[in-house]
Structure 1
Amino acid sequence: MSQHITDTTQLKCDKGTSPTPLTVTSQSFMSIDGKLQATEEDKQPNTNIKPFGMCSVLRSSCTPAPIKWDNTSDFKIEDKKELLDSSTCQCSVGGQISVVKSAQNFVEE
């Protein structure tokens, strides 16, 4: 089952060389384990999503150019859909941004 993601969740781009943490700025009151929950509006380059090292498409710095998050939750925070660990975001340069590892501490049962 998909899990909601939060601030500092590691993201990767399939055309970049290194992961980067997500910075949540789209809302300020819904949190899990003290970390703000991410929404589909957390897609601003260099604000929410930092560069991914070198880009194999551009052969230069992998500055993200996110278009829109897909595979989001049906649940909304202030009319913005929550992001899940299965959410992906297409980059206008050609890569796909996805979750490497959630920042949450999941309890195994």
Structure 2
Amino acid sequence: MPNPIIDTTQLQCDKGTKPTALIVTSQTFMKIDGKLQATEDDIKPNENIMPFGQCKLKMYLGGLFPCIPAPTKWQDISVFDIDNKKELLDKSICPCSVGGKISVIKTAQTFVAEE
């Protein structure tokens, strides 16, 4: 079952060389484990999604250019919303207009298994 994600959840672009943490700025009141819950509006490059190291699709003679995110729109999001913005889930993905795909690699919250 997909779970909502929160501030500091680790994201990875499949064309980048390192992960980065999601920074939630889209809402200020809904929290899980004391951290703000992410929504589809947490998509701004260099504000919500920081660079992913170097981009494997952008090469030059001396190596690779920085992997500056160019997200288009979150997909596989929740049907539930926070302040009219759909929740992001640990299965959510976001295509990058350069050619990569941004996805969740590690959630920041702790889940307790039901017995």
Q: Confirm or deny a common fold (TM above 0.5).
A: yes
- Give the distance between the partners of 1:50 and 1:18, measured in 2 at CA: 11
Q: Any unmatched runs of 5+ in structure 1?
A: none
Q: Which residue of 2 aligns with 1:45?
A: 45
The structure 1 segments of at least 4 consecutive aligned residues displaced by more than 4 Å after TM superposition are none
What's the % identity of the aligned pairs? 64
Q: Any unmatched runs of 5+ in structure 2?
A: 60-64
Deviation at 1:108, TM superposition (A): 2.7
Q: Which residue of 2 aligns with 1:21?
A: 21
Secondary structure in 1 matching 2:74: strand
- Give the distance between the partners of 1:68 and 1:14, measured in 2 at CA: 16
- CA-to-partner distance for each residue in 1:64-91, whole Å, 9 max, x for gaps? 0000000000000111000000000000
| Max Rg structure | 2
59, 75, 82: which one pairs with 2:80?
Answer: 75
- AA paired with 2:98? V
- CA-to-partner distance for each residue in 1:24-65, whole Å, 9 max, x for gaps? 000000000100000000000000000000101113100000
- AA paired with 1:46? N
Count, aligned residues = 109
- Give matches, 1:81-92, under 5 Å: 81-92=86-97
- Give the distance between the partners of 1:58 and 1:89, measured in 2 at CA: 19
Q: Which residue of 1 aligns with 2:62?
A: none
